[in-house]
Amino acid sequence: MHSRLRIIQGDITRQQVDVIVNAANSSLLGGGGVDGAIHRAAGPALLAECRQLAASRGGCPTGEAVLTGAGNLPARAVIHTVGPVWRGGGQGEAELLASAYNNSLQLAAEHRFATIAFPAISTGIYGYPKAAAATIALRTISQFLQQHDYPQQVWLVCFDEESYRLYRQHSEQAD
Ligand code: ADP
């Protein structure tokens, strides 16, 4: 695993990083899971900004990413990205998941954010198998870090113990 990548267990809304990533849906109008938690913690300013973005650009397509402020969160900004819904693996899910990570990292690099925290995109409501998603997340982030100086540190924030163990296991295999 890349030395600038860390795996931790916790709540992404509480992380003291420059930018956190939201596993949003393409409407950008809020949802359950980590999206709901981020909006609850950030407060109404974030939802207002997302509504504006939804109106002006019609949301965010799967695999892409957009930047907003962070309202009351400790982070300075939020990158909203949309992972794929798992439909059995034959609908380009792996490529779309890698794009969600890559486009988020690209936005962070453009804005010179030093630290970024990701949730396990698509592994909740969107049903992506956790082990396969872990492999893609770790590989995509490691490759990006090899080629870019920013972001300087990437945290993968696992909400539950099972995901944390899985990500740790996969990172050891990748070494
Ligand atoms: P998706 O729709 O992309 O599957 P979810 O929000 O349903 O998004 O789930 C993505 C991952 O985020 C899941 O592994 C879920 O356990 C995790 N998650 C939920 N709440 C939080 C949180 N507060 N901090 C970090 N991860 C979270």
Q: Which of 159, 162, 164 to mutate to test the pocket of ligand 1 (most atoms within 8 A of CB)?
A: 159
User: Which amino acid residue places its CA nearest to atom 1 of ligand 1?
Assistant: 122
Is this structure's pTM higher than 0.80?
A: yes
Q: Are 117 and 15 in contact (CB under 8 A)?
A: yes
Question: Is residue 74 helix, strand or coil?
Answer: coil
Task: Please identify which of the residues 18, 35, 149, 175 carries the catalytic annotation.
Answer: 35
User: Which amino acid residue places its CA nearest to atom 21 of ligand 1?
Assistant: 34
* Residue pLDDT tens, the chain, 175 long: 789 999 999 999 999 999 999 999 999 998 899 999 999 999 999 999 999 999 999 999 999 999 999 999 999 999 999 999 999 999 999 999 999 999 999 999 999 999 999 999 999 999 999 999 999 999 999 999 999 999 999 999 999 999 999 999 998 876 5
Question: From the CB of 118, is ligand 1 less than 6 Å away?
Answer: no
User: Which amino acid residue places its CA nearest to atom 19 of ligand 1?
Assistant: 34
Question: From the CB of 93, is ligand 1 less than 6 Å away?
Answer: no
Q: How far is the CA of 82 from the centre of ligand 1 (A)?
A: 12
Identity of residue 66: V
3-state DSSP percent of the chain in helix, strand and coil, to 5? 45, 15, 40
Identity of residue 140: T
Q: How many whole angstroms separate alpha carbon 91 and alpha carbon 84? A: 9
Is 149 an active-site residue?
A: no
Question: From the CB of 110, is ligand 1 less than 6 Å away?
Answer: no
